[in-house]
Amino acid sequence: MRLYLINPTNPLVSSVTAKESRWNRYRVWKPLSLMVLAGLTPPEWEVVIVDENLVAPDYPAMPRPDLVGITAFTSQAPRAYEVATYFRRLGVPVVMGGINATMCVEEVLAQVDSVVTREAEGIWPQVLADARQGGLKRQYDGGFAKISEFVPARHDLLPGGYAFGAIQTTRGCPLNCTFCSVTTFNGAQYRQRPIPDVVREFQSIREKRILVVDDNLIGTRPEHIAHAKELFRALAQANLHKQWIAQATINFADDEELLALAAKAGCRGVFIGFESPSPEGLRELGKKFNLLKGRDFRASVRRIQRHKILVVGSFIIGLDIDEPGIGQRIAEAASQYGVDTLNTLFLTPLPGTRLWDQMKSEHRLAFTAFPEDWKYYTLTFPVARFKHLSLDGIIQEMNACNRDFYSLLRLLRRVWSSLWQRRKPLVSLVGNLSYRNNSRVDCRTYAGFQRERRDSSGVNPMPLQTHA
């Protein structure tokens, strides 16, 4: 029995257009969901993982599979449906799972033979057994996996060519920020995998650099942090010579022992969602953790950096409180906090989030020709109606933000301060140049996007603006 597990591409995502920037090698990430599914698949199935982000596959030249499994973020949905249609025409049954299948069940059911919602651990062997007998059901629900059901991912199945390996050590988040899908998708309960399993899986990854995909590596409670410290101790003791990057809340900075252990275990970078430069913005997004009284972001960032861990700061543009000038304000805040690189995204209502419900009920979804328009839901296109910013206005803000933060002067200052603090000036330089280059690519992409919208909607793109 031959099973293809496919990660569809989104041609609008810059990582696919590798020609645009040679640094994009560092932006093509392994599809861990499919590697985990492969780990859950019994040995009688021959599994092939196809990552369309790495190489464009020639499906007609490939042997006919008995079953196709497709994963997709919502932004990948249009391509996922194309791939599904291709294989269904050949008479091959197609199953789709992952975040988009979970959040848009009805839409996905119209495109494939079978949909698996939520996590696959508890249900995938059953789906495969049904497929073998030609009795696939239309819908399965995996629920939230128990810790005992977690399996190591098949790291052996993907070819080389990725700069980073990938691993997951925890799932779930109780914080339920308005724009984020994680609490609905993976549950509010924070689940941490057993430490020996994680260490063994780290050992099985061939890449020297690894992305830890957890949404918040350290959790929210003292017992989560104690577990994270144990994990870091075990990783350091195993002496793996791996370097890894992860996502965490700013609370990561609050515990010197945690930081020292993380660095010893190989942590070299952390992605932190600051989201908004103002407390009103944080309240609007429900990002309560960043609101702790007396939090000094600059000091927090500096504490992390002292352990030679780079900080990528993420912000969101387009909140209801954001007015013209917000782009510059974000660039200034990020510079003031001292982050090494800045990643600014458009506020995007993704299905299944609180923000989606709110914007939908207020008729503020601006791109609704679904499924085609899902391709714009990458957080790098303005797809909603913003309170104080028009479509042109918000794009100008984004460009101003990137121009300011990645100006040559600021960039050199950051690299110099990294050198002065004996951190990683070369990594800082490469990271900054990569972001600078991509923001230029984005500028051109926005210009094309604006032109396209103007052409398709008549004369001007202003209808997106909701207030005078």
Classify residue 72 by burial, with Cβ atoms within 10 Å: 0-12, 13-18, 19+.
buried
Sheet holding 165-167, edge to edge: 165-167, 209-212, 243-248, 267-275, 310-317, 341-346
**169: contact with ligand B12 by CB under 6 A:** no
Of residues 105 and 260, the one with the C-beta less far from ligand B12? 105
**Of residues 135-154, which lie at the interface with ligand B12 (CB under 6 A)?**
145
Question: C-beta of 116: minimal distance to ligand B12 in Å?
Answer: 4
How far apart are CB 458 and ligand B12 at their closest, in Å?
Answer: 29
Q: Which residues pair with 171 in a beta bridge?
A: 191
- State the binding partner of 400 from ligand B12, ligand SF4, none, CB within 5 to 8 A by kind: none
Q: Quick check: 76 binds ligand B12 (CB under 6 A)?
A: yes
> Taking the chain, what is the end-to-end CA distance rounded to the nearest angstrom?
61
Q: Which of 38, 54, 128, 182 binds ligand B12 (CB under 6 A)?
A: 182
| Alpha helices in 239-296, H assignment, sequence order | 256-265, 279-285
Closest to 193 in 3D by CA, of 227, 163, 222, 166: 227
Residue among 166 and 391 whose Cβ is closer to ligand B12: 166
Total number of residues that touch ligand B12 (CB under 6 A): 41
Non-local CB neighbours of 285 within 8 Å, separated by 6+ positions: 177, 178, 179, 275, 276, 316, 319
Candidates 233, 284, 243; CA nearest to 266 is: 243
**Can you state the percent helix, strand and coil of the chain, rounding each to 5?**
45, 15, 40
Min CB(315)–ligand SF4 separation in Å: 13
Distance CA 365, CA 348 (A): 9
Which string of x and - marks every residue 345-374 that binds ligand B12 (by CB under 6 A)?
-----xx-----------------------
Q: How far is the CB of 270 from ligand SF4 (least distance, A)?
A: 13
98 binds, among ligand B12, ligand SF4, none (CB under 5 to 8 A by kind): ligand B12
**Number of neighbours of residue 317 by Cβ within 10 angstroms:** 22
- Pick the closer one to ligand B12 by CB: 212 or 253: 212
Closer to ligand SF4 by Cβ: residue 98 or 273: 273
Burial of 324 (0-12, 13-18, 19+ CB in 10 A): middle
Verify binding: residue 418, ligand B12, rule CB under 6 A.
no
Which positions lie near ligand SF4, rule CB under 6 A? 173, 175-177, 180, 182-183, 215-216, 249, 273
Considering beta carbons, is residue 289 or 367 the nearer one to ligand SF4?
289
Q: How many CB atoms lie within 10 A of CB 127?
A: 23
Angstrom distances, CA of residue 272 to CA of 29, 246, 330:
18, 9, 14
- Angstrom CA distances, 343 to 194, 282, 314, 402, 436, stand at 32, 17, 5, 9, 11
Binding site partner of 273, from ligand B12, ligand SF4, none, Cβ cut-off 5-8 A by kind: ligand SF4
Residue 29 binds ligand B12 (CB under 6 A): yes
Q: Which stretch, 25-33, 202-210, 260-268, 361-369, contacts ligand B12 (CB under 6 A)?
A: 25-33
Tell me how far, at minimum, the Cβ of 254 lies from ligand SF4, in Å. 15
Partner whose footprint covers residue 73, from ligand B12, ligand SF4, none (CB < 5 to 8 Å by kind): ligand B12
Pick from ligand B12, ligand SF4, none: which does 93 bind, CB < 5 to 8 A by kind?
A: none
Residues 6+ apart with CB under 8 A from 294: none
Return residues touching ligand B12 (CB under 6 A): 7, 10, 13, 29, 31-33, 36-37, 69-71, 73-76, 95-100, 103, 116, 119-121, 124, 145, 168, 180-182, 185-186, 213, 215, 350-351, 378-379
